[in-house]
Structure 1
Amino acid sequence: MEELTRLAAIPSVAFPGHPEEPVLAAAAMTEELLRSTGLPHVRQIPVEGSFPAVYGEAPAPPGAPTVLLYAHYDVQPAGDPALWRTPPFQPTFVDGALFGRGVADDKSGVIAHVLALRAFQGRFPVGVKVIIEGQEEYAGERLEAFVERNPDLLRADAIVVADTGNPSVGDASVTTSLRGMAAFTVEVRTLAEAVHSGSFGGAAPDALAALIRMLAALHDENGDVRVPGLPRGIFLGTGPSDEEFRATAGVLDGVSLVGSGSLADRLWASYAITVTGIDVPSVQHAINAVQPAARARITVRVPPAGDPKTAVNDVVEHLRHAAPWGVNVAVSDLVVGSGFQADTGGRARAALNRAMERAFGRPPRDIGAGGSIPLVATLVKQYPAAEILLFGAEDDGAAIHAPNERLVIEELRRAATAEALFLADYADF
């Protein structure tokens, strides 16, 4: 608890415009934590264009397999502090849960690995490799390119990705599919500069009004994506009920869910487009002027088998087609990451099933995830024989990427226990 609280108190936001010093401080503490596990080799590794990855390694005993453990020490920005019930970077313990930015996503993953490794007191039953990266939340392909240039460094028989979790606390689950993602900024320009809305309004083209029309064209009246080339997918497993989802997402009474098809289809197997930010004058600082420019940040979630680059091209083309009045449209700051679909029948998965049943008191079930972990697709491509296992201490009520992020401490205990039991069981590979 003390270590997680100390790590989560570091505002390690690796987005452009945020200070670098806290990110480097989180890297240093992550290195300190990995050294405390008894790993004989721990170091920081520079990653071109990004923050350092923290790497640890212990050789495999004769005949034993090697397991790679992954997490990330960077976090999302806190957003508006007024929306937090506790200070985002002063982790606060309340009724069995720790509240603060990054306590779940993904500093819980860092601590889960540390706890699982400490259980062996330096006598590991399998070969161990650990990679903790420092810029996962901003996406891009920085660590992915590093992996491709250094394939032997992370080569393993099984890979544990501690950056997911269960639908609800105690509901043991393994994530078997991830959507890919793409994100970009679109800018609309119409005038050389802002002009008086009384003198020019009604004839001067308003950049904000044009952008609003373009963004509204992304979805139909039901909330389904209306971009040509982005069809709805199908997830074969079972997703949450409408009631469970409404409660977890905090949907207000009387407000409908959007889209069609099952919730599993919508959340785990279909395209989703979200406008995550708009640059225009705030209401507080509004003036009576026609706006000359407006920008929006758009995120596209892509089904596991979809191509993020093709998807973002389709979305950009649709926006350009929807742009009114001949406005100037520019796109910048594009990042992409591919999705993932797991093979669930290997020896590592069988060992994990046994470990999770012991730790959680029930066998795990397969679920999908609507979020993206860009590195996973690269690991699949680079190490096709390795089994990739995604589980962790997060849950759907953890409010990751949102105000009041929280981690249930007992869930962390169970996830770390399951990981330690898995390492011990998998040693009989």
Structure 2
Amino acid sequence: MTHHEPQNPATAPDLAARVPVAELRGSVAAAFSTTVSELIDLVAIPGIAWDAFDAAQLERSAEAVAALIRSAGIDDVQILRVPKDDGTPGGPAVVARKKAAPGKPTVVLYAHHDVQPPGDEALWDSTPFTAQERNGRLYGRGAADDKAGIMAHIAAFRALTATLGDSFGIGVTFFIEGEEEAGSPTFAAFLKEHNALLAGDVIVVADSANWQVGIPALTTSLRGLVDGTVEVRVSKHAVHSGMFGGPLLDAPTLLARLIATFHDDRGSVAVKGLQSSDTAALDYPEELFRADAGVLDGVELAGTGSLASRLWTQPALSVIGMDITGVDMSSNTLIPMARAKVSLRIAPGQDPAQAMASLEEHVVAHAPFGAQVSFVPGEGGQPFATDTAAPAAQAALWAMGESWGVPAVETGMGGSIPFIADLKESFPDAQILVTGVEDPDSRAHSANESLHLAEFEKAIVSQSLMLAAINAGALGEH
């Protein structure tokens, strides 16, 4: 494994001389047991922003977060929401502000307090909403995603307050969303309505992961996303397969032939017009990928180029749903119509509208055996890339390296965080940093979600060092 160490060599000693590293580390350590206890209390609240779940628990979750921020010494704390398109209330977001001293920048700290549903509780080794510590990890729904992100923000703020006192001059705005796991349906409208309240020079999004236990990472790129539905029709109605089968191929068979054109013989996406590069700076060993992804023995990996680039800087096309007759309901019938929903991850720099058009053109051009093929466009989300030469990114990389004792690496993310594009559009001059507290075994969204507690403490120290560096002038003249 190779580590990419991009930071300016002159930055680290300069910041180390201006930031009270040992004092901040000690402050975080002294309060860590309290921080974990507060996290356990948050995990106990099943705040789920889906309509099928109790909205009162989501309100309870927001109130608990607001109380924690007040306990950290901020009085300006609000619980805000905007309506959804159908007029129903959006999820409750907690917004709290410590105003900047004259000439000092403002940092916005984002996380989300809503969580995924627990799923099948039989798959859990402990009760999802009763956090349990085992072998240095804290298990529970939201323990990692993203209540640990909230507590990292709060604990770092407390450490700076205790260590810097009156010299803690930067502005800090907490923005703790309450509907991220439901797709952030009111996020763009919320930013528009509360734009002045949420404006900042740096936005820290604590909703990602580190590279491995012991190796911190700044997420510097996110693939974008487009999706759509492909429909194949071959006849006006179903017919008996014995009487008409042979000359007429059924819709599922032709849909399968169409899907097969999405990739070449090496497994690379074969849709023309999509951007792709092999520029990822980090090696991802195949054995590690196989272990992380749970790949079965004998299954070959698809594509060309480095594994990291295949995950972060190349497109990926998947079939995520199909409408055909189920096996239990099948009969000897030629099915006239079949549908598939496809999901296309796009590389940083790719325009989603152009990618959607390329996907539709490919589908129409590869209609098998003259079948009637249609494509219904779905959602689109912008990719994201960080300017790692920017001062805030340099401060973050330095802080991570200082906290963990090894150089931070730059990683991409194969998935998307759609609201990042909304943040970039609303605050085009802000430096956006994507950090996190998870590791490859955190299993966010799955049963037995967990948080590595030693890594959690390092993440808090890193956050406090980064904020202290910005407080010490790491962004330059303001």
Code of the aligned partner of 1:288 = S
Deviations 1:211-251 (A, max 9, x none): 43333332223221111112422324123122222222222
Structure with bigger gyration radius: 2
1:210–1:85 distance in 2 versus 1, CA, 3 Å: farther
Runs of 5+ in structure 2 lacking a partner?
A: 1-35, 85-89, 474-478
Aligned to 1:347: 391
**TM-score normalised by the chain length of structure 2:** 0.78
Count of residue pairs brought into register by the alignment: 427
Aligned to 1:29: 64
CA RMSD of aligned residues (A): 3.3
- Distance in 1 between residues matched to 2:235 and 2:49, nearest whole Å: 34
- Distance in 1 between residues matched to 2:284 and 2:172, nearest whole Å: 35
SS at structure 2 position matched to 1:425: helix
Q: Whose helix fraction is larger, Structure 1's or Structure 2's? A: 2
Alignment of 1:23-422 (within 5 A): 23-49=58-84, 50-76=90-116, 78=118, 84-86=124-126, 88-120=128-160, 124-139=168-183, 142-186=186-230, 206-280=250-324, 283=327, 285-288=328-331, 290=333, 294-324=338-368, 326-327=371-372, 329=374, 331=376, 334-422=378-466
- Distance in 1 between residues matched to 2:143 and 2:247, nearest whole Å: 51
Q: Does structure 2 retain, via aligned residues, the 8 Å contact 1:159–1:388?
A: yes
Aligned to 2:20: none
Q: Does structure 2 retain, via aligned residues, the 8 Å contact 1:194–1:289?
A: no
Code of the aligned partner of 1:400 = A
- Distance in 2 between residues matched to 1:298 and 1:367, nearest whole Å: 26
SS at structure 2 position matched to 1:119: helix
- Distance in 2 between residues matched to 1:194 and 1:13, nearest whole Å: 42
SS at structure 1 position matched to 2:279: coil
Residue 189 of structure 1: CA displacement?
A: 6.1
Residue 59 of structure 1: CA displacement?
A: 0.8
Aligned to 2:87: none
1:223–1:414 distance in 2 versus 1, CA, 3 Å: same
Which deviates further from its counterpart, 81-90 or 413-422? 81-90
1:254–1:67 distance in 2 versus 1, CA, 3 Å: same
Which deviates further from its counterpart, 117-126 or 346-355? 117-126
Residue 39 of structure 1: CA displacement?
A: 1.9
Residue 76 of structure 1: CA displacement?
A: 4.2
Residue 69 of structure 1: CA displacement?
A: 0.5
- Distance in 2 between residues matched to 1:209 and 1:30, nearest whole Å: 52
Code of the aligned partner of 1:130 = F
Deviations 1:53-95 (A, max 9, x none): 2211111133322110011233445556565555555544321
- Distance in 1 between residues matched to 2:469 and 2:212, nearest whole Å: 26
- Distance in 1 between residues matched to 2:41 and 2:236, nearest whole Å: 49
- Distance in 2 between residues matched to 1:201 and 1:355, nearest whole Å: 66
Identity score, percent: 42
Residue 32 of structure 1: CA displacement?
A: 3.4
SS at structure 2 position matched to 1:57: strand
Residue 119 of structure 1: CA displacement?
A: 2.6
Runs of 5+ in structure 1 lacking a partner?
A: none
Residue 267 of structure 1: CA displacement?
A: 1.1
Deviations 1:358-392 (A, max 9, x none): 32122322222222222223333443433222222
**TM-score normalised by the chain length of structure 1:** 0.86
- Distance in 2 between residues matched to 1:200 and 1:135, nearest whole Å: 51
1:246–1:310 distance in 2 versus 1, CA, 3 Å: same
Residue 18 of structure 1: CA displacement?
A: 6.0
SS at structure 2 position matched to 1:98: strand
